[in-house]
C-alpha cells in the first residue's frame, strides 16, 4: 500500500487569505508534498472562538488525516500554530513558525494592544474596505519591499470576510492571547522559526523563543522584513523544503 504524502498545512496572517500561499503550491507539490492552505476565517464565521478553541478545531481536522502533518504559520497564523503545537494530542510532526509573537508578558502591554485591536475591529466593520486596507497596509511593519511578490496579494475579495476579520481583532488579539513563553518548552517536534533581517523585533523574539524549545532553530533571512515569505519566496520555499526533508533535528536540541 502506498504511503500517503506528507501534508504541508499553511496558516495565513491577519487580514490575509488562504490564497496567499498559492505561489508555493507547485514547488511543494513537485517536491512530493500534499498542500493545504487553511482559510482561518471559517473558524469565526458562526460565532466568537478563542485562539485555543481555534487551535483545537484545527487539530481535530488534521488528526483525521493519514500521513505526516507539517505546519507553516505566518504572523497571526503563527500564533495559532503555536497554540496548535501546545494543545493536548497535537497531530503535528514538524512546524515552521514565521514572524510570530509568543505573547505579551505585562498587563499594561495587553491592555494597550486590546485597545489598538478594538479600534482596528471597528474600522474593519465601519469604514469602506478600500480605506481600511489603506490604513492597515500603511503600518511600518507591513511596508512593501521593492520588487517583492507581496504587492500581488489581492485583498479586495476579503471584503466578503470583513465580519470574521473584524471579529478576529477581538478574539485573536495579542492582547487576549495567553502568554505562551512559559509553555514553549513543551513543544517537542522539530521547529524552524523564521524572520526577516529587517524585522528586528520579531527576530529577537524568535531567538529567545528557540532557546526555550528543545528541537528549535531560528533562521534570519537576508533582505526581508515581516512578510518574508512573499519578499523572498524562492529562498523561503527552499528553506521550508530543506527543513521538512532534513532528519538531523530529530531527537536533538539546538
pLDDT digits (tens, 9 = 90+) for 198-234: 999 999 999 999 999 999 999 999 999 999 999 999 9
Q: Could you tell me which of 236, 243, 241 has the C-alpha nearest to residue 221?
A: 236
- Asked whether 62 and 92 are in contact (CB, 8 A), the reply is yes
pTM equals 0.95
Quote the percentage of the chain above a pLDDT of 90.
Answer: 86
Q: What is the pLDDT at residue 2?
A: 76
Q: What is the pLDDT at residue 149?
A: 63
C-alpha span between 99 and 117 (Å, rounded): 18
- What are the Cα distances from residue 24, in Å, to 74, 158, 225, 235, 240? 14, 20, 18, 11, 10
Predicted confidence (pLDDT) per residue in 102-114, tens digit: 999 999 999 999 9
Residue 99 pLDDT > 50, yes or no?
Answer: yes
Give residue for cell 497564523. Answer: 77
Helix (H) or strand (E) holding 130: helix 129-137
Residue 184 pLDDT > 60, yes or no?
Answer: yes
The topology (CATH level 3) of 7-104+179-245 is Rossmann fold (3.40.50)
Residue 251 pLDDT > 90, yes or no?
Answer: no
Mean pLDDT of the chain, nearest integer: 93
Domain positions in the chain are 7-104+179-245
Q: What is the pLDDT at residue 229?
A: 96
Residue 36 pLDDT > 60, yes or no?
Answer: yes
- What are the Cα distances from residue 247, in Å, to 115, 131, 192, 239, 250? 44, 47, 13, 14, 6
Predicted confidence (pLDDT) per residue in 46-94, tens digit: 989 999 999 999 999 999 988 999 999 999 999 999 999 999 999 999 9
Q: What residue spans of 40-126 are helical by DSSP H?
A: 51-63, 76-86, 107-126
Rounded average pLDDT over 116-128: 97
Amino acid at each position: 500500500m502506498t504511503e500517503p504524502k506528507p501534508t504541508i498545512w499553511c496558516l495565513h496572517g491577519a487580514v490575509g487569505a488562504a490564497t496567499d500561499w498559492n505561489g508555493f503550491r507547485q514547488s511543494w507539490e513537485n517536491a512530493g508534498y500534499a498542500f493545504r492552505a487553511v482559510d482561518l476565517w471559517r473558524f469565526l464565521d458562526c460565532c466568537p472562538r478563542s485562539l485555543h478553541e481555534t487551535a483545537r478545531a484545527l487539530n481535530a481536522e488534521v488528526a483525521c488525516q493519514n500521513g505526516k502533518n507539517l505546519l507553516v504559520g505566518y504572523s497571526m497564523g503563527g500564533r495559532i500554530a503555536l497554540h496548535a503545537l501546545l494543545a493536548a494530542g497535537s497531530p503535528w510532526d514538524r512546524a515552521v513558525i514565521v514572524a510570530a509573537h509568543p505573547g505579551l508578558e505585562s498587563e499594561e502591554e495587553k491592555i494597550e494592544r486590546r485597545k489598538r485591536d478594538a479600534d482596528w475591529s471597528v474600522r474593519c466593520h465601519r469604514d469602506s474596505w478600500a480605506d481600511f486596507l489603506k490604513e492597515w497596509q500603511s503600518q511600518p511593519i507591513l511596508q512593501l519591499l521593492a520588487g517583492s511578490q507581496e504587492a500581488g496579494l489581492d485583498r479586495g475579495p476579503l471584503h466578503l470576510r470583513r465580519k470574521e476579520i473584524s471579529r478576529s481583532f477581538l478574539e485573536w488579539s495579542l492582547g487576549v492571547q495567553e502568554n505562551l513563553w512559559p509553555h514553549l518548552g513543551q513543544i517537542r517536534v522539530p521547529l524552524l522559526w523564521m524572520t526577516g533581517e529587517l524585522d528586528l523585533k520579531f527576530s529577537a523574539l524568535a531567538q529567545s523563543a528557540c532557546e526555550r524549545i528543545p528541537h528549535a532553530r531560528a533562521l534570519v533571512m537576508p533582505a526581508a522584513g515581516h512578510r518574508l515569505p512573499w519578499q523572498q519566496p524562492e529562498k523561503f520555499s527552499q528553506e521550508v523544503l530543506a527543513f521538512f526533508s532534513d532528519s538531523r533535528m530529530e531527537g536533538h536540541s539546538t
